[in-house]
Each structure stands twice: as C-alpha cells, then as structure tokens.
Structure 1
Amino acid sequence: MRPPGANVAGETPGSTETPAAASLCPKVLCKRVDFLRAARALRQSAPGFILQARERAEGEAEAERIRVGFTCSKKVGNAVARNRAKRRLREIARLVLPAHGREGWDYVLVGRPEITATRDFAAMQADLKRALAKVHGRAR
C-alpha cells in the first residue's frame, strides 16, 4: 500500500493536469433533460441496441466534447441483466466513440431485451460504427 501523498510514476504533488487519454473519453449524460432531447432527435436502430443522437447547439455547455448516456428499461430484464447490458454498452461506447463520434454531439445507447446482454461483442462494436455512420450521414 502506498502512503498518502506518495508519487505515482510521472505525477508531481499538486498537479491538476488530466492525462491526454481522459480528454478522449466521452462525458456521461446524467440529467433527464439531456436524455429527453436526445430522444426527440435522430434515431438509428441496430440489432443489439438503439442509438439516439443529437448535435448540441453552439450556446450549450461543453460544446466541444462528446457526451454519451445509457439506458435499459425493465423490459431488458431484472437488475442483473440491465446492469450487464449497460456495462456492455459503456464498453463499446468507450472503444468506438472517440474514433467515430463527433465532438459537440450527444449519444444515448438504449439496450434491447435479451439481445444487448448476449450479442457478440465484436458485432456490437461494428453495429455502433455502422449506426454512427448512418446518423452522421443524415445530419449533413
């Protein structure tokens, strides 16, 4: 165990800089109003989930970052199944959105009953890439 205040490789005490990788990670949506705005915007269905996407207006906060939200209703299953589905959605978003998402956009991934938790992980990544391409193709 490391004593409090001990340096981790490359850190200096009192350093407030965030690593470059942290800036690539999408920010997570938490407020209901953001989910409702995304629900009224573009929608693309994929076998393992539904993607809702919207471009934020210039005046909105954090216009330069990608934001993402995740939701699974009780139709997906019990709490264990919903949490497993959301974990899988979070991981595909973490892997795909920095490269294929657009800054200034909000994305919401909605889990589907029985499919989100069991679909092949590589197939879900490909689904998200395809859904993003379709959404951004329509947004032009």
Structure 2
Amino acid sequence: MDRTTEDAAADRNAAKAAPDRAASGVSGGAPGVPLVTLRKRADFLRAASARRQGMPGFLLQARHRHSDEAAADQAIRIGYTCSKKLGNAVMRNRAKRRLRALAREVMPGLARPGWDYVLVGRPGATVERVFADLCADLAAALTRVHGK
C-alpha cells in the first residue's frame, strides 16, 4: 500500500468517526437551547409516566419539568432506549444511533425548552424504516404531544 492510499484510508476512517464524537453528550441546533442527554434512571421513569405518542418507528415519551425540580433549566433533555426485543447489541446500538441522529435533525426546531423526551426504539421499524419517514414521524409526534 502506497502512502496516498494510506492517507485516503485514514481520511475515510476519520470521517466515519467524527459523527459519533459529535453525537455524544450535548449537541445543539437551536441557538441557546442545547440538547442534553438523559442519564439517570429516575428521569427515564418520570418521562415514562407522562405523555406518550406511538409512531411506526418509535415511541415518544415526553414530560414538562416542574420549576421546583433541580434540573428545571431551559435545556431540552432527551434519552434513548432500546430493549432486547430489538435484537442483539449490534441492532440495539444501530437503532440508538438512528434515534440520536433523528433527534439532532428534528428536535431543535420543534422540541420545547424545559421538557424531557425519551425515544424508545421499536423492533424492526427503528432500524429498517426510511430516515425521512422517521423525521416526519417525530415531527408529528412532537406536535401531538404538545397539543397543537
């Protein structure tokens, strides 16, 4: 392998790895309103007991944070979960990557500050559904959850 081939391969590998680094932790789109990833089980449980909207590719759970909560800042918090019903670890991770990309694409424009959201993957559909359809589904789900 000559030097130019090695450089091209390194560039391709760096380009593949870059989106994963950008997806970890905090991402944004709307100025001043970051998307923060939910980490604590209690936050997931509170979202599960609030509003929900089922769509073909995922289930959206949403709740408005009360002003007396410690995390009552104006950030948009979002969590992702995929059960073993989706398949092995490779399938679950692929589904979560798609859900994260979906959230980065749609949430900054439609999600509301001060809300917690959880996207739950669905067996087969989350991985196999066309991404544009998933985007349209999330936009419709957010509209329904917020009662517009």
Q: Is residue 2:91 matched to residue 1:81?
A: yes
Query: For the residues of structure 1 that align with 2:105 and 2:145, how far apart are their CA atoms?
Result: 18
C-alpha displacement at 1:59, in angstroms? 1.7
Alignment match of 1:108 (pick from 115, 118, 142): 118
Query: For the residues of structure 2 that align with 1:25 and 1:117, how far apart are their CA atoms?
Result: 26
Query: For the residues of structure 1 that align with 2:120 and 2:76, how far apart are their CA atoms?
Result: 17
> Structure 1 residues 21 and 100 mapped into 2: Cα distance closer, same or farther (>3 Å)?
closer
Higher helix share: 2
Query: For the residues of structure 1 that align with 2:58 and 2:89, how far apart are their CA atoms?
Result: 18
* Number of the residue aligned with 1:51: 60
Query: For the residues of structure 2 that align with 1:20 and 1:134, how far apart are their CA atoms?
Result: 22
Alignment match of 1:30 (pick from 21, 24, 39): 39
| Unaligned ranges ≥5, structure 1 | 1-18
Conserved? CA contact 1:53–1:106, under 8 Å: yes
Identity of aligned residues (%): 59
Conserved? CA contact 2:80–2:119, under 8 Å: yes
SS at match of 2:90: helix
Q: CA RMSD in A?
A: 1.8
Alignment match of 2:103 (pick from 93, 96, 100): 93
SS at match of 1:80: helix
| Unaligned ranges ≥5, structure 2 | 1-27
SS at match of 2:127: coil
Number of residue equivalences: 120
SS at match of 1:69: strand
Give me the TM-score of the superposition, normalised by structure 1.
Answer: 0.81
> Structure 1 residues 99 and 20 mapped into 2: Cα distance closer, same or farther (>3 Å)?
closer
Query: For the residues of structure 2 that align with 1:95 and 1:20, how far apart are their CA atoms?
Result: 8
Conserved? CA contact 1:57–1:63, under 8 Å: no
Query: For the residues of structure 2 that align with 1:57 and 1:63, how far apart are their CA atoms?
Result: 10
C-alpha displacement at 1:106, in angstroms? 0.2
